């Protein structure tokens, strides 16, 4: 069926099967492979993107449910070759190693930061929805808190 939506500011019209997940739509149809796919049942948080400004699991959303929506992926954060302040904070704090979980965390943190500077406790609570198996969470928390206070 016909799907019309905006992805990272660009209007997109695609014919999709109802069973196609938003995560697979972004990666396989649009080539936006910055969105990572981990568990595919909503636990790991790697596939988190924003739909109409709200962070959501793209593996728990059918692409057709995003009809008419404005979707933002991690590719929208950096302007040209310049990292966003949040991404820059991640770099400064060594808040990533393998980077698999990073796009999801960035998109969730981006929503949190849009509502104002979060407390450390709020950041920790947010990260309960994101599994990172290499860096450890402390530098990630540091980076998000710093970006919030910038």
Partner 1 sequence: MKPVSFSYVAARSLEEALAALADGGEDAKPLAGGQSLVPALNMRLVRPTLLVDLARAGLGGIERANGTVRVGATTRQVELQRSEHCPQLAAEALPHVGHAATRNRGTVGGSVAHADAAAELPVCLAALGGSVVTDRRQLPAAEFFTGPYTTALEPGELVTATLWPTAAGPCAFEELALRRGDFALSMVAVSGTRVAVGAVTDRPTVLHEVGALLAAGEPGDELAAEAGALAASLVDPAGHLHASPAYLKHVTGVLVERALRRAWTSG
- Cα separation, 74 vs 102, in Å, equals 9
**Which residues contact residue 81 at a Cβ distance below 8 angstroms, ignoring those fewer than 6 apart?**
none
Q: Which of 54, 19, 12 is nearest to 40 (CA)?
A: 19
Interaction of residue 136 with partner 1, rule CB under 8 A: no
Specify the stretch interacting with partner 1 by CB under 8 A; choose among 27-35, 83-91, 125-133, 142-150.
125-133
Q: How far is the CB of 63 from partner 1 (least distance, A)?
A: 10
Nearest-angstrom CA–CA distance, 95 and 101: 11
Among 14, 30, 129, 137, binds partner 1 (CB under 8 A): 129
For partner 1, the binding residues (CB under 8 A) are: 1, 17-19, 21, 24, 40-42, 45, 48, 54-57, 59-62, 64-65, 67, 108, 111-112, 125-126, 128-129
């Amino acid at each position: 069926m016909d799907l019309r939506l905006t992805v990272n500011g660009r209007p997109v019209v695609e014919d999709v099967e109802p069973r196609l997940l938003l995560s697979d739509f972004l990666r396989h149809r649009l080539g936006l492979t910055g969105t990572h796919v981990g568990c595919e049942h909503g636990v790991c948080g790697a596939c988190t993107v924003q739909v109409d400004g709200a962070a959501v699991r793209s593996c728990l959303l059918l692409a057709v449910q995003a009809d008419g929506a404005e979707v933002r992926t991690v590719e929208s954060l950096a302007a040209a070759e310049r990292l966003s302040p949040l991404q820059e904070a991640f770099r400064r704090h060594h808040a990533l190693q393998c980077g698999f979980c990073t796009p999801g965390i960035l998109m969730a943190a981006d929503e949190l930061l849009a509502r104002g500077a979060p407390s450390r406790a709020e950041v920790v609570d947010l990260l309960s929805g994101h599994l990172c198996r290499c860096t450890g969470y402390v530098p990630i928390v540091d980076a998000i808190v710093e970006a919030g206070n910038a």
